[in-house]
Structure formats: structure tokens, C-alpha cells
Amino acid sequence: MTEPDFPPPPAPVQVKRRFSPLLAIFLVLAVAGVVLAITGVLTVFSYRTVSIRSGSMSSAVAPGSAAIYGLRGGQEIHRGDVVVFEADVFPGAPHGKFMQRVIAVGGDEIRCCDLDKRIIVNGKPVAEPYLDPAVSPADAAVPFEAKVPPGTVFVAGDTRNNSFDSRMVVQPYALETGSVPLSKVDGVVVATGSFFWPETVKPTTAFTDAGLSGASTEDTGPVSSRLTATGGAALFLLGFVGAIVTAVRRRKAAAAPPRH
């Protein structure tokens, strides 16, 4: 007696998954978000923070508050820039960092002051709106005269009656003293606060308004990098969650029995 010859069982039906444009879009968003977030974080690494106890720049940055500055790396320094530099360039100054404003650059001739108590740079009087309004012009107008050598900058605090700066170091008949070598300048202050919530320092137009060339440095890097990193993280989260939800729905749809 022979066994019945049964036909082989049918092969399982392979459900071919179709390409999902929606899933692809979410994946692209997630990847783009990662790229943006990394770009923003890497940009932050080109900046540093410093907290200065001195009140010489209190009208711009309160004592003890954080200032964000870009690493110089050959960056050109302009009149009006607020810079961070090594304090020991001045005789008798303590070790650490000073933060003061550049009021003359290499090659400039500067003196104080005209009849209106304004500094004179290359023969042009400069009105300085950033000076501490609590200090009278007479108290701020400490007489000095200097010729700034190439490769250096001449600095002063905005609170002129409470600042140990280039004006205090200039000696009579030694007109090249008092300047800060560019090699001692760490960078230009571009924002205050923290990297999580920076506030851009508005550049001054005092020197260009006086007819001197070279606008003060404007750098929105800390603010834009925070926005880039935050936006990138949000974009990644949107793409990641969207991709997971789409993939789960596709899997459930593929596992559901076919309708007859």
C-alpha cells in the first residue's frame, strides 16, 4: 500500500516592503540635525570665557560677570575692540587677565585731551560714548601722549578713573611704552553671559565716526553657534522620533493578515 502523494506546502508569501518617502525624509532630518548640532558645538570650542574682577570695564561688563572672547589666532585687532590680554605686560600688575578697550593700534599717535576732554588719535578727536557715565569727563581725562609701535595696541578701561591701563604706564620721553604686544592679546570680547545664553557685544563706531579707518570687530559666533546647536538637536529629535514611529507603523502593517 503506497502512501498518498501530498503536494508540498505553499511557500510563505514574502511581503515586499515598498520604499517609504516619509521614512527617508525623517532619516535625512535626523542626520542633518546631527551635523548641525556638531557644527554648533565645534564652533563654541573656538571661544573662551573669562571673569574679570576689576571694575575698569564695569559699564560694559559688570565685575565678576563672564565675558566670551574669540581666540585671536592672527585675527586683526581694531580700534574700539574690547580685548583680553595678559596683565603682566604692565609693570607691577598681578598675574592674570585684564580686559580693556583698544583706543589706538600700531602706528597711531594718541594723546589726551582736547578742550572737550576727548582723546586725539592721529589728529582726530574721538567722542567715546561707551565711557562710564558716572565718571565726569574731567576725572576721565588723564593727560598722556604716546606713539604706538607696530605689533602692539594701546588700551584703556571704560571707567577711566578706575583703570590701570596703557595711560598709567606711559612715561615721559619714552613714547613707545604702555602698549600691549599683540602676542599677549588672547582675543576680542564678542559677548557676555554664558554659552547657553550669550548676549552679543555691540561694536562701537566711535573711531570710524571720527574719520579713522577700521571698524570694530563684530562677531555673532557665540549666539549663532548656540542657535545652530539647539536647532540641530531639535531637528535630530524630530527626525529620530518620526523615523521610529514610521518604522513601527510599517512593521505593524506588514504583520497584519491580508484582507479577503
Calpha distance 169→178 (Å, rounded): 5
Prediction pTM value: 0.77
Calpha distance 148→174 (Å, rounded): 11
- Residue pair 260/44 in contact (Cβ under 8 Å)? The answer is no
C-alpha cell at 69: 572672547
Calpha distance 213→121 (Å, rounded): 11
Burial category of 66 from C-beta neighbours within 10 Å (exposed 0-12, middle 13-18, buried 19 and up) = middle
Residue reference for cell 557715565: 133
Residue 232, pLDDT score: 85
Tens of pLDDT along the chain (260 residues) come to: 555 665 666 555 555 557 688 888 888 888 988 898 888 888 877 888 888 777 788 877 877 778 888 877 777 899 999 999 998 888 877 788 899 999 999 999 999 989 999 999 999 999 999 998 888 888 888 889 999 999 999 999 999 888 889 998 886 544 456 899 999 999 999 888 877 788 888 899 999 999 999 888 887 777 787 788 888 888 888 888 888 888 888 787 766 665 65
C-alpha cell at 219: 562677531
Cα–Cα separations (whole angstroms), residue 187 to 31, 67, 76, 124, 155: 34, 11, 10, 27, 13
C-alpha cell at 147: 606713539
Residue 17, pLDDT score: 59
Residue 102, pLDDT score: 96
In total, the chain counts a number of residues equal to 260
Residue 180, pLDDT score: 93
Return the CATH fold of 52-194+201-216: Umud Fragment, subunit A (2.10.109)
Calpha distance 163→55 (Å, rounded): 7
